[in-house]
Amino acid sequence: MAKQIAGGYNVPSNCIQKVRYDIDQRTKQLSLSSARMKNIEEILKDITIIRELSTEIITNASGVNQAIYKFNDMAKGIEKIALQINLISLNASIEAVRAGEYGRAFLVVAEEIRRLAISSKDTVSESEVIINEATESIQGINTMINKISEEVDKAFTNILEISKKTKETLEVAGIEL
């Protein structure tokens, strides 16, 4: 070391410069850590919002699912009514035929009522297909949202842990946020 000092390589001013350089580097690192901490806090806020929105979407999707089930029940009720109307129109047709000439006009009305009943039943059948497709879609959406919520929760936990460690590091360095 004496040879280096004599050779001018390890002079006290060089040592001070090295210390200054090290302090500057550490200050920059701590500033970066402080900036990262602020970024982490922003990410935590954003993830919290995403978590809340996911919960809200699940609630809304459940509401849509319940509405679909109610609509399905209503469609089944309409189908029963259409079946009853069809039976009534068949009975009316039989009575119109028995009435002979006097029942012809009534027979036309009974047949038209029967066509309407059949059309109602067909519409309900088509509605049931759409209801089933909508129900499957909602269930798929619920599954995806639940997976997203799980992943967001994992990310939230990981970022929270990083946040705690960064805060501890900054506290040890004496930097307040």
Profile the chain (177 residues) by mean pLDDT over runs of 10 residues.
60 64 72 73 86 84 85 90 92 91 89 92 90 87 86 86 80 69
The H or E element spanning position 16 is helix 12-99
Question: What pLDDT score does 3 carry?
Answer: 65
Residues 62-113: tens digit of each pLDDT: 888 888 889 888 988 999 999 999 999 999 999 999 999 888 888 899 999 9
Domains in the chain, ordered, with CATH? 2-171 (1.10.287.950)
15: tokens are 């040592």
Question: What pLDDT score does 164 carry?
Answer: 84
- Measured at the CA of 13, the angle between CA 32 and CA 19, to 5 degrees, comes to 25
| Residue 173, helix vs strand vs coil | coil
Query: Tokens 């499957």, residue?
Result: 136
Q: What amino acid is encoded at 68 in this protein?
A: I
Gap between the Cα atoms of 97 and 106, Å rounded:
9
Q: Report DSSP letters for 129-153, one per residue.
A: HHHHHHHHHHHHHHHHHHHHHHHHH
pTM over 0.75? The answer is no
Reported as half-sphere exposure (CB side, CA atoms, 13 A), residue 16 has a value of 3
Reported as half-sphere exposure (CB side, CA atoms, 13 A), residue 89 has a value of 17
